[in-house]
Amino acid sequence: MKLTFLGTGTSFGVPVVGCACTVCRSGDPRDKRTRVGAVVQVGHTRLLIDTPPELRLQLIATGIADVDAVLFTHDHADHTHGLDDIRAISVRREGAMPIYGPAETLRTLRTKFPYIFDDAVRPMPGTYKPEGTATALEPGVTARIGDADVTPIEVPHGRWRVFGYRIGALAYVTDAKTIPDAAFALMQGADVLVINALFRTPHPTHLSLGEAVAVARRVGARQTWLTHLTHDNLHATLAAELPPDIQPAFDGLVVEC
């Protein structure tokens, strides 16, 4: 199994528009963070987790030309507003792109992007549109998607519900504020953990750095990668501060699971 981080930044991205802080001016490419997304490859199946606004550029940068399905975590703009970019992939497919996620997220996406899901909306001759079919998943219920067994992990994100995903040895959780016991149970035994870590101080909808480290210690994965990072920390400084088994991810990082 192979995990590719497409983006590892917060909803503002890094650099932040109008900011001249040390991180936003950093020459280290690991401090350039686009919005959060990833691709997981299991056997011959590639699963895209979320469609960030920079999706086209992320796929080009990582050399990923095709995916077999999309998994959504939730419907916030930084995780969904690149959905139209699947057009370049769906036009080469036989049939629509399979799209999975929480039921409420899929309902919202049908409202935001009705042309993607409505077969009655046909492009004019010589033009194309992205095409997708939506399937709602349930927490803790494993779905077989191509070569992958995918189990949604429900976590709270303020007032919203987010799905993390357990895919084989990988537990991928972003935008969580806390990790309920039921979620911990689904994460146990993971070899690789991905978890969000926003600020050093508490936040109403995200885990802080200290809280994320505590989650990592409880899960006990061989490797933990922190994502959804802000411009509060230089990558090199944060990496040196953390233990070797808990490290900040960065855009383009590839991890074998």
Confidence band for 119, pLDDT divided at 50, 70 and 90: confident
Note whether residue 162 is domain-resident.
Answer: yes
Residue-range definition of the domain harbouring residue 169: 2-15+32-256
The number of distinct structural domains making up the chain is: 1
Instruction: Please give the single-letter amino acid code of residue 6.
Output: L
User: In this predicted structure, what is the pLDDT of residue 113?
Assistant: 96
Q: Compute the distance between CA of residue 55 and CA of residue 253 in angstroms, rounded to an integer.
A: 15
User: In this predicted structure, what is the pLDDT of residue 118?
Assistant: 86
User: In this predicted structure, what is the pLDDT of residue 164?
Assistant: 98
Q: Percentages helix, strand, coil for the chain, rounded to the nearest 5?
A: 25, 30, 45
Note whether residue 170 is domain-resident.
Answer: yes
Confidence band for 93, pLDDT divided at 50, 70 and 90: confident
Name the CA dihedral angle for 218, 219, 225, 231, rounded to a multiple of 10 degrees.
Answer: -40
**How do beta strands 192-196 and 170-173 pair?**
parallel
Q: What CATH number is associated with residue 176? A: 3.60.15.10
Note whether residue 23 is domain-resident.
Answer: no
User: In this predicted structure, what is the pLDDT of residue 125?
Assistant: 80
pLDDT higher at 175 or 95: 175
Q: Compute the distance between CA of residue 82 and CA of residue 17 in angstroms, rounded to an integer.
A: 19
User: In this predicted structure, what is the pLDDT of residue 5?
Assistant: 99
Q: Alpha carbon of 245 to those of 61, 213, 225: distances in Å?
A: 26, 10, 8
Token code pair at residue 63: 């050399």
- Helix ranges (H only) for the chain are 55-62, 77-80, 87-90, 103-112, 114-117, 181-187, 209-219, 235-241
Q: Compute the distance between CA of residue 125 and CA of residue 251 in angstroms, rounded to an integer.
A: 38
User: In this predicted structure, what is the pLDDT of residue 100?
Assistant: 98
Question: Quick one: average pLDDT of 193-214?
Answer: 95
Segment 120-168, tens digit of pLDDT: 788 778 777 899 999 999 999 999 999 999 999 999 999 999 999 999 9
Segment 42-82, tens digit of pLDDT: 999 999 999 999 999 999 999 999 999 999 999 999 999 99
Note whether residue 156 is domain-resident.
Answer: yes
Instruction: Report pTM.
Output: 0.97
Note whether residue 68 is domain-resident.
Answer: yes
Note whether residue 24 is domain-resident.
Answer: no
Segment 216-255, tens digit of pLDDT: 999 999 999 999 999 999 999 999 999 999 999 999 999 9
Of 13, 40, 33, 35, the closest CA to residue 168 belongs to: 40
Note whether residue 40 is domain-resident.
Answer: yes
Note whether residue 20 is domain-resident.
Answer: no
Helix H or strand E segment including 181:
helix 181-187
